[in-house]
Amino acid sequence: MFSTTKAFSGFSVNDLQKAKEFYHGILGIEVSENEMGILTLHIGADTNVVIYPKPNHVPATFTILNFPADNIDEAVDELSAKGIIFEQYSEPVRTDAKGILRGNGRGRI
């Protein structure tokens, strides 16, 4: 039934305007908004991610949206220059000084 459909993801935020400013203004992603105030991120040729308002939203404690990059160091440097702060982890995985997890069978995240 669903093996040939194109799935899409969604997540909540407590401030749609801040989300729109971040995803469009900082990351440069095309963002649309429907009549109900729900945002859609238009990523690549045909990938959409829905962002919906939730007043009692609690941020996830893990990555929920991944963007592949040709050069992760350049991408992190560019985002850091725009004010993005990357989390530093030491357990159960360890990130480097830039906040990048390297190796451990996981590639670079």
- pLDDT, one tens digit per residue, over 50-104 is 999 998 988 887 777 888 888 999 999 999 999 999 988 888 778 899 999 887 6
Per-residue confidence (pLDDT) for residue 104, from 0 to 100: 62
Query: At 48, which helix (H) or strand (E)?
Result: strand 47-53
pLDDT at 48 over 80: yes
Alpha helix (H) ranges present in 1-109? Answer: 16-20, 72-81
pTM, rounded to two decimals = 0.77
pLDDT at 24 over 90: yes
pLDDT category of residue 40 using cuts at 50, 70 and 90: very high
